[in-house]
Amino acid sequence: MARDETGTSIQKGNGHGRASLETRDTVIVATGVSEREYAELSLVLTARGIEHQRLVVPGGWAIAVAAEDRRSAGDEIASYRAEHAAAPAPPPPVARHPDAWYGVAAYAAVLMVFAILTEQAAFGVDWHAKGMLIARAVVDGEPWRVVTALTLHGDTLHLASNLAFGGFFGFFLGRYFGSGVAWLAILGSGAVGNLLNALVQQGEHRSIGASTAVFGALGLLTAHAWRRGPRHASLRARLAPIVAGIALLAFTGTGGENTDVFAHLTGFVAGFAAGAVLARVDVTRLPGVQPLSALATFGLLMLAWALALAF
């Protein structure tokens, strides 16, 4: 006869204990046990040399052991259950915003328009001279160049690579944050990256290309993946997105002798900082934020070029 710790008698079912347990005073050490948990706990107790028996109780099964084994069996069961406690709930799924392609199409259209304007010297304007990043000019009072430089490219290969990588990163950011917020963040990261680059470079340093913003987009994605990861994961798992982002930066961010590597780095850093904030502060829920952000992105571009052409 088995009893629980209050002395209540329990009817025995088909047990897995030895016959010797039948003649000894037993107590219940676990109740509400499923078939799978019993199989695992039985292995644990058997490995420790603790005789035990499965009992039929209301609401499931129970495990009984000899009274003298109650403490050791209870400790083993508690230890096993602690080690196999339910994992922390994963972070909520990332919202997938529709129409991410709209932002990519607008990005491609802007770069193509300025490529044509530059190639044809439209309206008699030297677009490179007016819009390129010149470190001394930025410091001396022409800050719009940190934006206008993002729209200019040296040749077709330069343009094509930024179209490809920028469109790729921008599409996923558009899915995560919405096209308006995503492209405002990308433009902002590129502008801040260019500003940082101008502040540390020699005065004659010159730079053009959307690549600073492209690597800003990579920084945004890296920070988003990092901050959205499980908080209770191992250190290696938590750092994996950052390591992957830096590896991709190193792989794609270095090129020929005309590549502005430091601009890639500053763009990545600016994007990472912005992404860390956006991953925790969900501005996408604000009413009308997507169209307003899209208008702000377009407005900043137009304002920067209006100033560039006026001076």
3-state helix, strand, coil in the chain (%, to 5): 65, 10, 25
The tokens of 183 are what?
Answer: 């492209």
Is 94 among the domain residues? no
In-domain check, residue 18: yes
Verify that 155 and 295 share a domain, yes or no: yes
Shared domain check, 204 and 67: no
Number of domain units in the chain: 2
In a domain, 91, yes or no: no
Q: What is the pLDDT of residue 95?
A: 60
- Indicate whether 25 belongs to any domain: yes
pTM: 0.69
Residues 126 and 262 reside in one and the same domain: yes
Question: How high is the pLDDT of residue 13?
Answer: 40
- Integer Cα distance of 12 and 148 in angstroms: 82
| Dist. CA 237–CA 233, nearest whole Å | 6
Residue 51 sits in a domain of what CATH number? Answer: 3.30.70.1530
Domain range for 69: 2-83
| Residues 75 and 106 grouped into a single domain | no
Residues 70 and 184 in one domain: no
For residues 139 and 223, state if they share a domain. yes
Cα separation of 309 and 305, whole Å? 6
User: For residues 293 and 146, what is the distance between their CA atoms, to the nearest angstrom?
Assistant: 19
Q: Which of 7, 79, 45 is nearest to 15 (CA)?
A: 45
C-alpha–C-alpha distance, residues 137 and 203, integer Å: 8
Same domain, 39 and 172: no
195 and 264 housed in the same domain: yes
Per-residue pLDDT in tens (0 to 9) along the chain, 311 residues: 454 443 343 434 444 444 456 666 888 888 878 778 888 888 888 888 888 888 877 767 888 888 888 888 888 888 887 877 655 555 555 567 888 999 999 999 999 999 999 999 999 999 999 999 999 999 999 999 999 999 999 999 999 999 999 999 999 999 999 999 999 999 999 999 999 999 999 999 999 999 999 999 999 999 988 877 655 555 565 666 677 767 766 766 565 566 788 899 999 999 999 998 888 888 888 899 999 999 999 999 999 999 999 99
Query: Which pLDDT score is estimated for 279?
Result: 81
**Cα distance between residue 265 and residue 249, in whole Å:** 8
pLDDT of residue 11: 39
Query: Domain check: are 218 and 78 in the same one?
Result: no
* CATH number of the domain to which 221 belongs: 1.20.1540.10
Tokens 């934020």 correspond to what residue? 289
What is the pLDDT at residue 234? 54
| Residues 76 and 114 both lie in one domain | no
Tell me the Ramachandran region of residue 310: left when phi exceeds 0, alpha when psi lies from -120 to 50, beta otherwise. alpha
238 CB-side CA count, 13 A: 7
Instruction: Decide if 138 is inside a domain.
Output: yes
CA distance 186 to 192: 10
